[in-house]
Every structure is written in C-alpha cells, then in structure tokens.
Amino acid sequence: MKDDRCAVVVLAEILEGKRLASSFFEALHFAHKIADVYGAAVHALILGHDIEDVAEEISHFAVDTIYMADNTNLAVYHPEYYLSAVHQAYKTIAPITFVMGNTLQSIDLAPRLAFDLDAGLITDCTGCQIDSKKIIFLKPVFSSHILAGYTAEKPFIVTIRPKSFEPSKRLEAKQGKIEHLQVKLEKVNVRITATSRVVNDHTGIKVDDAEIIVSGGRGIGSAEGFNVLADLADTLGAAVGASRPPIDTGWIAADAQIGQTGAIVAPVVYFAIGISGAIQHLAGMAQSKKIIAINKDAEAGIFKVADYGVVGIYEEIVPAITQAFREHSKA
C-alpha cells in the first residue's frame, strides 16, 4: 500500500526552450524502484519561471503530485536560490529522498543540499540491489574498475548516471496533480553573482540523444579530420562525438566530449575512430549496444571492447564506409 506521507521526490531539470532534461525520465524510473521498497508516493519537483507547460507535460508521467516553484529568481540555475527553494520544498513535502540525474547542475546542487539537510548523498548511481527491504545503491569507482555498494539513512539524496536506466514512458492520460509551492527568496544570502551566461548554439544531433554516434580521438589528427567523420554522421543521421584529446586541442566543440568527464552515452551503434581506448573514455561509452572500432594500431585497447574492428587508416576506411551507406540508401 502506498503511503502518501512517505515520498520520493524527483528533481526535474529544465533546459533551454523549457525542455525537460532526459535525465528526469531516467531518474523517475529509478525513483519508482525506491518507492516500491518503502511503499512511498513518487512526486516531481520543478523550479523555474513560467513553467506551467513543463508541469503539464510531467503530469503525463507516473507521478502522484507535481510541485511547481515558479519564481523569477529561479529562471536560470543559481545554486543559492535553488538550494533555498529545494530546502523550502523539503519542509513542505518531507520526502525520504531526492532523486536527480547526475548532470552538471546536480553535481553542483546535490552536495550543497546534502550538507544543508544533513542528509546522506550517493552520486553517479548506476543500479541497486534490494535485500529484505534494504536498498544497496551501486556506483562505479576507481575509473569504473570496481562496483561499490552504499546504503543511506533517511533522508538521503541520489544522483543517477545518464543512460543507466530506461526512461519512464509518457502516458496518454494525465496522472499527477499540480500544486504550486510558494517559495520566498527575497532574503537569500546571495554570495555568487553570474557576470555572463553563454549558451552553446549546437547544430545537429547531440550525443546525449543520438542512437548512432561517430566518435573520433587523438588519432584523427586535426580539426579537418573531423569533417570526414561528419560526412559519415550526416549519412547515418548520427551525432559526432570525441574523446578528450580532440576537445583539449580545440578540434571540436566541448559538448561533443564523451567519457568520464564528458557525456555518458549508450547508443545503438558507436563508431570509435582513432580512439585508443583509455579507461576514462570507455567509462562514457561502454554501454553502447554495438561498438565498431577503426584504428591503425592493431594493439589499441579499444579493440578489446569492440564488437567489430577494422585495422587501417581512417582517411581511407571511413569514406569507403560512407560511400557504401550512401549507395545502399539509394538502392
């Protein structure tokens, strides 16, 4: 039996254009696993300004209540305003846990919230084990060489690694009711001032959303080399990604980075071209359904995790693959 006095709250993240981050739907899936153990209700909490449409969209998912804090100071993420708003929501809802995606925003907010609430904190969670009504939260440590298990006393906060859980499905009929939370932010002690804000004008498919990713590493050799990868990506309707070295050298934009310090992806097909296979990169793409590696070094570590491998010069191999796909699409 669900106990409405016992709640799991999913903190939603709102992106540019008033879009919900994909991490919300994955966090919602995981929240239901936690709620099932405690017999708890599942609520959503959204912070922002003019976010009625976002609340309406969430009402089509498996949530009991959507708590909406609408305030001009919450229009753009600010750690001190957001912390105060979530703290005030906590006093109203009194959840046993907050669940959120392990995004840049939550990496900043979750530790602040844990300290503020004197709560437990488990970050970058990828799964759980349930034993006798006790949850053991699992997360990779030591560059994903070890899977560690953690328990936490209530209240606690969990962030989940992207692509670790299936997203919750949208339902035709509305499920949750919407409640407005009145948060008071006028007296927040603001010590952080945003002097400027830069929004990356990304063109094409983002690596976070792509089912096919064509990714390049140091072996690509130059920014011009990524044009070869872009041709293949355009042919396949794929995103172009990269390991960290091409990002550091400025060959490609930072939002293309995949790995431990970049995006965590799990596409249907992942092309790893000129990528050695360092553990930091593998941590970001190892969950790909099929991995195709192209590298001139037959001993490259990437071949150990690849489903298919081609040893050779990418400047010759990739255009040939691109042409083959183009001819196949015309047939």
pLDDT at 5: 61
304 pLDDT exceeds 90? Answer: yes
Same domain for 40 and 156 = yes
pLDDT at 68: 97
Go through 94-121 and write b for each residue having 16 or more CB atoms within 10 A of its CB, e for each that does not.
Answer: ebbbbbbbbbebbeebbeebbeebebbb
pLDDT at 3: 56
pLDDT at 260: 85
CATH number (domain holding residue 273) = 3.40.50.1220
At residue 192, what are phi and psi to the nearest 5 degrees? -110, 130
DSSP symbol at 72 = G
19 pLDDT exceeds 80? Answer: yes
pLDDT digits (tens, 9 = 90+) for 127-153: 999 887 789 999 988 877 789 999 988
Same domain for 232 and 145 = no
pLDDT bucket at 196, cuts 50 / 70 / 90: confident
Residues whose CB is less than 8 angstroms from the CB of residue 174 and which lie 6 or more positions away in sequence, other chains included: 59, 60
4 pLDDT exceeds 60? Answer: no
pLDDT at 155: 94
90 pLDDT exceeds 90? Answer: yes
Establish if 326 belongs to a structural domain: yes
236, 270 contact by CB (below 8 A): no
Residues whose CB is less than 8 angstroms from the CB of residue 39 and which lie 6 or more positions away in sequence, other chains included: 1, 2, 3, 6
| Three-point CA angle 113, 116, 121, nearest 5° | 50
Same domain for 56 and 175 = yes
Mean pLDDT of the chain: 93
pLDDT at 163: 85
1 pLDDT exceeds 70? Answer: no
Establish if 144 belongs to a structural domain: yes
pLDDT bucket at 157, cuts 50 / 70 / 90: very high
pLDDT at 275: 97
Sign, CA torsion 230/234/236/237: positive
Residues whose CB is less than 8 angstroms from the CB of residue 327 and which lie 6 or more positions away in sequence, other chains included: none
Same domain for 171 and 31 = yes
Same domain for 164 and 48 = yes
H/E element, 287: none
Same domain for 171 and 36 = yes
Rounded distance, CA 8 to CA 157, Å?
10
Find the domain containing 324 and state its range.
212-330
Same domain for 167 and 67 = yes
Cβ neighbours, 10 Å, residue 273? 27
Of 165, 180, 195, the last residue of a domain is 180
Q: Is 270 left (phi over 0), alpha (psi -120 to 50) or beta?
A: beta
pLDDT at 329: 82
pLDDT digits (tens, 9 = 90+) for 222-252: 999 999 999 999 999 999 999 999 999 999 9
Is 45 strand, coil or helix?
strand
pLDDT at 170: 95
Same domain for 320 and 174 = no
Establish if 17 belongs to a structural domain: yes
CATH number (domain holding residue 167) = 3.40.50.620
Structural domains in the chain (count): 2
Largest CA distance in the chain: 66
